[in-house]
Amino acid sequence: METKELIVERKGAVAVLTLNRPEVLNALSDSLVEAVVSEMERLDKEEGVRAVVLTGGSKVFAAGADIKGMADATSQEMQKSDRLAKWERMRKISKPIVAAVSGFALGGGCEMAMSCDMIVASENAVFGQPEILIGVIPGAGGTQRLTRAIGKYRAMEFVLSGRRFSAQQALEWGLVNHVVPNELVVEEAVSLAEEIASRPPIAVRLAKEAVNWAVDVELGEGLVKERQHFYKLFDTEDQKEGMKAFLEKRKPVFKGK
């Protein structure tokens, strides 16, 4: 669902989605979030696509949910429309998503990056949950995902004060995977996505699900579920090919079957 606000490109097996509202620093309007989520849902079903990169380009990732679109809303209207519920659909995407973050990733921007599976940040990336400064709190996962990613005490500081933190801090605390020069951020994210896209896709899907269990379920349950996924993969042609190729000392050819 390419719109003016969302540019969709293909680089081989990788789809690149670019937020495109530069005049408002990619503020995430309802329609932009809907475009992102529904495009990801569509790509999740498209066979040729094996990984997705989400970016705001080289200047800004996103400065948050669109404040203009909600400034005058009442609590009743917000609850009735439950506009942030659509963000949760990103959790159901089974293909890996890499965020390429440059510049501001604030509020909903930080939350959208954290809704991805991996984050490549540029040296000038700035993260934060500044909602407290405008009288609210994060509403699209910020209190939950930031806390899980960087720990309770750090998250408490940033969510309650509205302070920002740098790409380097995010790297030290485990929120981002890599920090790279600004001009390379999309390239690096695509390169990571391409590498993952070359792996057997059923195993990649099950691996993503299993890693998420480490965050979402109790350890004993996670271990049982992981083991079941491991056994399940012995029904795939790619497992047979992968192990056979190893034994024959050649490169495997994965078919996604």
Active site residues: 65, 108, 111, 131
Number of residues in the chain: 257
Kindly tell me which of 85 and 247 has the beta carbon lying closer to ligand CAA. 85
Asked if 119 and 180 touch (Cβ cutoff 8 Å), the reply is no
Kindly tell me which of 60 and 190 has the beta carbon lying closer to ligand CAA. 60
Is 24 an interacting residue with respect to ligand CAA (CB under 6 A)? yes
Which positions from 114 to 153 touch ligand CAA by CB under 6 A, shown as an x/- string?
----------------xx--x---xxx-x-----------
Question: Which residue in the set 15, 16, 96, 104 belongs to the binding site for ligand CAA (CB under 6 A)?
Answer: 104
DSSP string covering the chain = --BTTEEEEEETTEEEEEE--GGGTT-B-HHHHHHHHHHHHHHHH-TT--EEEEE-TTT-SB--B-STTTTT--HHHHHHHTGGGGGGGGGG--S-EEEEE-SEEETHHHHHHHTSSEEEEETT-EEE-GGGGGT----SSHHHHHHHHH-HHHHHHHHHH--EEEHHHHHHTTS-SEEE-GGGHHHHHHHHHHHHHTS-HHHHHHHHHHHHHHHHS-HHHHHHHHHHHHHHGGGSHHHHHHHHHHHTTS-------
Considering the complex, what minimum distance in angstroms separates the CB of residue 61 from ligand CAA?
10
Query: Residue 191 burial by CB count (10 A; 0-12/13-18/19+): exposed, middle or buried?
Result: middle
Question: Of 100-108, 114-122, 187-195, 233-241, which part binds ligand CAA (CB under 6 A)?
Answer: 100-108
Is 5 an interacting residue with respect to ligand CAA (CB under 6 A)? no
Kindly tell me which of 11 and 59 has the beta carbon lying closer to ligand CAA. 59
Applying the rule CB under 6 A, the residues between 73 and 92 that interact with ligand CAA are 84
Tokens 């990649």, residue?
A: 204
Kindly tell me which of 75 and 219 has the beta carbon lying closer to ligand CAA. 75
Question: Which residue in the set 108, 200, 201, 252 belongs to the binding site for ligand CAA (CB under 6 A)?
Answer: 108
Applying the rule CB under 6 A, the residues between 30 and 69 that interact with ligand CAA are 63-68
Q: In whole angstroms, how large is the CA radius of gyration of the chain? A: 19
Considering the complex, what minimum distance in angstroms separates the CB of residue 132 from ligand CAA?
9
Within 10 angstroms of residue 55's Cβ, the number of other Cβ atoms is 24
Which positions from 164 to 193 touch ligand CAA by CB under 6 A, shown as an x/- string?
------------------------------
Is 107 an interacting residue with respect to ligand CAA (CB under 6 A)? yes
Question: Of 45-53, 89-97, 101-109, 198-206, which part binds ligand CAA (CB under 6 A)?
Answer: 101-109
Chain residues in the site for ligand CAA (CB under 6 A): 24-25, 27, 63-68, 84, 104, 106-108, 111, 130-131, 134, 138-140, 142
